[in-house]
């Protein structure tokens, strides 16, 4: 299984690196990460942009899938659904916890709950990951 540090390093030049996503736990049934609500991740009104929640969650759910892949397999997200519930203020930190609802041979389903600094649920993201053969 890929370990947390290896994945974190892979992130650096990519979108999760740009956004400052930090993994704090990577296990086969649970992935946890955090992200600082920097001003340049916000929308008007000094609150975290809806797109930032979705990108953060998409990242955690994909990590969860990757650590469950059998050798010779790869994954792609086929869909993602988000409910937005509360706001996260600039210069605070949000925590995302992604748990596996399903880990099958063809698809996996991960659900990520993002909470603000007061522990309040801000967004719930549920995504389906398709499991495919990796190119030889």
Residues 25, 66: Cα–Cα separation, whole Å: 14
Cross-strand partners of 74: 132
With CB under 8 A as the contact rule, the residue among 67, 69, 99, 124 that binds its own copies is 124
What track of x and - describes contact with its own copies for positions 79 through 118 (by CB under 8 A)? xxxxxxxx--------------xx-x-xx-x-x-------
Residue with smaller CB distance to its own copies, 32 or 63: 63
Q: Applying CB under 8 A, does 39 fall inside the site for its own copies? A: yes
DSSP string covering 104-134, please? Answer: -SSEEEEEEEEE-TT--EEEEEEEEEEEEEP
Residue with smaller CB distance to its own copies, 72 or 106: 106
Residues 37, 86: Cα–Cα separation, whole Å: 14
Query: Which residue in 7, 26, 5 sits closest to 97, CA to CA?
Result: 26
- Give the total of residues touching its own copies (CB under 8 A): 48
Interface positions with its own copies (CB under 8 A):
10, 13-18, 39-44, 49-52, 54-59, 62, 76-86, 101-102, 104, 106-107, 109, 111, 121, 124, 126, 128, 130, 132
């Amino acid at each position: 299984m890929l370990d947390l540090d290896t994945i974190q390093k892979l992130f650096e030049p990519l979108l999760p690196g740009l956004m400052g996503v930090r993994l704090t736990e990577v296990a086969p049934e649970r992935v946890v990460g955090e992200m600082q609500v920097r001003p340049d991740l916000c929308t008007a009104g000094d609150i975290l942009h809806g797109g930032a929640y979705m990108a953060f969650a998409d990242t955690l759910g994909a990590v969860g899938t990757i650590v469950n892949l059998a050798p010779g397999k790869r994954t792609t997200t086929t869909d993602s659904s988000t409910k937005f519930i509360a706001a996260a203020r600039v210069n605070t930190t949000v925590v995302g916890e992604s748990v596996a609802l399903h880990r099958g041979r063809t698809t996996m389903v991960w659900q990520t709950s993002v909470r603000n600094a007061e522990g309040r649920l801000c967004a719930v993201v549920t995504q389906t990951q398709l499991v495919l053969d990796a190119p030889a």
